[in-house]
Amino acid sequence: MNAHQTQSGRLSQVLWYLPVLLILAFFTFPLIWIVMTALKPPIDVFAYPPKFVFTPTLDNYRRVLASDYMDSLGHSVIIALVSAAFSVVLGTLTAYGFSRYPLRGKDNLFFWILSLRMLPVIAVIVPYFLLFQRVGLTDTLVAMMLVYAVFNISFTVWLLKGFFDEVPREMEEAAKMDGYGPWGVFTRVALPLVIPGIATAIVFNVVQSINEFLLAFVLTQRKATTAPIALLNFLTPMGLDWGGISAAASMLVTPVIILAIIVRKHLIRGMSFGQLE
Amino acid sequence: MSGAVPAQLADVTVEQATISSRFARQAKLFPWLLFGPTILYLLVLSIFPLIYSLGVSLYDYTLGGDATFVGLQNYRDLLTDSVFWRKTWTTLQITIFAVGIELALGLVCALVLNRRLPGIGVIRLIIYLPMMMSPLVIGYFWKFILDGSFGVLNYLISFLGIPPQQWTIDLTLAKASIVLVDVWQWTPFVILILLAGLQSVPPQIYEAATLDRASIWMQFTRITLPYLTTPILLALLFRTIDTFKIFDIVYVVTAGGPGDLTETLSVFAFYEGFKFSQLGRAAAISWLVVIVINILATVLIKLLARQRSKAVLDEEGAVA
Interface confidence (ipTM) of the complex: 0.93
Cα B254 from Cα A117, distance rounded (Å) = 26
Cβ atoms of B280 and B269 closer than 8 Å: no
CATH number at residue A172: 1.10.3720.10
Domain termination residue (choose one: A57, A79, A108): A57
- The answer to the question of residue A9 being in a domain is no
The answer to whether A154 faces chain B, any CB pair under 8 Å, is yes
- Single-letter code of the amino acid located at A128: Y
Contact criterion met (CB below 8 Å) for B39 and B269:
no
The helix or strand, by DSSP H or E, that contains position A11, with its residue range, turns out to be helix A2-38
Q: What is the pLDDT of residue B8?
A: 60
Q: Answer yes or no: do A101 and A204 share one domain.
A: yes
Do A162 and A256 belong to one domain?
yes
Query: Do both A35 and A166 map to the same domain?
Result: no
Q: Cα-Cα-Cα-Cα dihedral of B306, B312, B313, B314, to 10°?
A: 110
Assess whether A26 and A158 both reside in one domain: no
Residues of B in contact with A54 (CB under 8 A): none
Inter-chain Cβ pairs, chain A and chain B, closer than 8 A: 247
Is the torsion defined by CA of B243, B249, B253, B257 positive or negative?
positive
Of A118, A120, A259, the CB nearest to B286: A120
Residues A120 and A198 in one domain: yes
Q: What is the mean pLDDT of residues A172-189?
A: 91
> pLDDT tens digits for A73-102?
999 999 999 999 999 999 999 999 999 988
Q: So what's the pLDDT on residue A116?
A: 87
Alpha helices, DSSP H, located in A59-120: 59-65, 69-100, 106-118
Q: Are residues A35 and A115 in the same domain?
A: no
Phi, psi for residue A73 in degrees, rounded to 5: -60, -40
Which residues 37-76 on chain A approach chain B with CB closer than 8 angstroms? Answer: 37, 46-50
> CA-CA-CA-CA torsion for B140, B142, B148, B150, nearest 10 degrees?
80
Angle, CA B303 vertex, CA B301 and CA B308 arms, to 5°: 90
A199 and A236 in a single domain? The answer is yes
* Cα separation, A195 vs B83, whole angstroms: 51
Interface of B with A in 86-145 (CB under 8 A): 109, 112-113, 115, 117, 120, 123, 125-138, 140-142, 144-145
Q: What is the pLDDT of residue A166?
A: 93
Query: Sign of torsion, CA A99 A101 A102 A104?
Result: negative
**Interface residue A25 vs chain B (CB under 8 A):** no
* A276 found inside a domain: no
- Tell whether B178 is within 8 A of chain A (Cβ): no
Q: How many CB atoms lie within 10 A of CB A4?
A: 8
Q: Which of A1-15, A54-68, B186-200 has the lowest mean pLDDT?
A: A1-15
- Which H/E stretch holds residue A235? strand A235-236
| A2 part of a folded domain | no
A70 located within any domain = yes
Q: Determine the Cα–Cα distance for residues A276 and A258; give it in Å rounded to an integer.
A: 23
Inform me whether the pLDDT recorded for A8 exceeds 80. no
A251 pLDDT exceeds 70? yes
- For residues A49 and A72, state if they share a domain: no
Contact A23 B112 (CB under 8 A): yes
Residues ≥6 apart with Cβ < 8 Å to B105:
B183, B187, B190
Q: Judging by beta carbons within 10 Å of its beta carbon (0-12, 13-18, 19+), is residue A260 exposed, middle or buried?
A: buried
Residue A116 sits in the same domain as residue A244: yes
- The answer on pLDDT for A218 being more than 90 is yes
Using the Cβ of A196 and the Cβ atoms of chain B, whether some distance falls under 8 Å is answered with no
Cα(B162)–Cα(B164) distance, integer angstroms: 7
Sign for the CA dihedral angle at A97, A101, A104, A107 comes to positive
In a domain, A12, yes or no: no
Task: Please give the DSSP secondary-structure letter assigned to residue B160.
Answer: T
Q: Tell me, yes or no, whether A4 lies in a domain.
A: no
Looking at A101-181, list the stretches that DSSP marks H as alpha helix, in order from N- to C-terminal side: 106-118, 121-134, 141-165, 169-177
For residue A115, the chain B residues in CB contact (below 8 A) are 297
pLDDT at A81: 98
Chain A residue at shortest CA distance from B234? A272
Instruction: Considering only CA atoms, give the Rg of chain B.
Output: 28
A274 Ramachandran zone, left/alpha/beta (phi>0; psi -120 to 50): left
Contact A211, A256 (CB under 8 A): yes
Please list the alpha-helical segments (H only) found in chain B: 4-42, 48-56, 73-79, 82-113, 120-128, 135-146, 152-158, 173-199, 203-211, 216-219, 225-244, 248-253, 265-274, 279-319
The pLDDT value given to residue B317: 62
User: A195 and A97 in one domain?
Assistant: yes
Check residue B5 and give its pLDDT.
52
Instruction: Work out the widest C-alpha separation in chain B, in whole angstroms.
Output: 103
d(CA B135, CA B267): 14
CB contact under 8 A, B270 and A125: yes
Choose between A235 and B258: higher pLDDT: B258
Instruction: Please indicate, yes or no, whether residues A254 and A125 belong to a single structural domain of this protein.
Output: yes
| 8 Å CB contact between A277 and A269 | yes
According to the model, what pLDDT value does residue B18 have? 74
Number of domains in chain A: 2
> Which of A123, A147, A212 is opposite residue B290, by nearest beta carbon?
A123
For an interface test with B, the pick among A43, A52, A108, A126 (most B C-beta atoms closer than 10 Å) comes out as: A126
Surface-to-core class of residue A116, CB atoms within 10 Å of its CB (0-12 exposed, 13-18 middle, 19+ buried): buried
Facing residue for B127 by CB, picked from A23, A46, A207: A23
B53 contacts A124? CB cut-off 8 A: yes
Cβ-based contacts of B231 with chain A (< 8 Å): 276
Per-residue confidence of chain B (320 residues) as pLDDT tens digits?
444 455 565 666 666 677 777 778 777 889 999 999 999 999 999 999 999 999 999 999 998 888 999 999 999 999 999 999 999 999 999 999 999 999 999 999 999 999 989 999 999 999 999 999 999 999 999 999 999 989 999 999 999 999 999 999 999 899 999 999 999 999 999 999 999 999 988 888 888 888 888 888 888 888 899 999 999 999 999 999 999 999 999 999 999 989 999 999 999 999 999 999 999 999 999 999 999 999 999 999 899 889 888 877 776 665 54
Contacts with A27 from chain B: Cβ below 8 Å: 126-127, 129-130, 184, 187-188
Task: Report the pLDDT value the prediction gives residue B191, as an integer from 0 to 100.
Answer: 97
Q: Chain A contacts of B112, Cβ < 8 Å?
A: 16, 19-20, 23
pLDDT at A5 over 70: no
What value does the mean pLDDT take over residues A33-37? 95
**For residues B264 and B247, what is the distance between their CA atoms, to the nearest angstrom?**
7
What's the whole-number mean pLDDT along residues A119-123?
A: 92
* A52: chain B residues, CB-CB within 8 Å: none
pLDDT of amino acid A1: 43
Chain A residues with beta carbon closer than 8 angstroms to that of B289: 120, 122-123
| Residue B246 DSSP SS3 | coil
Residue A33 resides in a domain: yes
Residues of A in contact with B293 (CB under 8 A): 118-120
The mean pLDDT of A169-179, rounded to a whole number, is 89
User: Peptide bond before B258: cis, by omega within 30 degrees of 0?
Assistant: yes
| Domain containing residue A79 | 61-271
Rg (CA), chain A: 24
| Residue A5: inside a domain | no
A22 and A79, same domain (yes or no): no
Least Cα distance to A88 among A142, A153, A162, A164 occurs for: A153
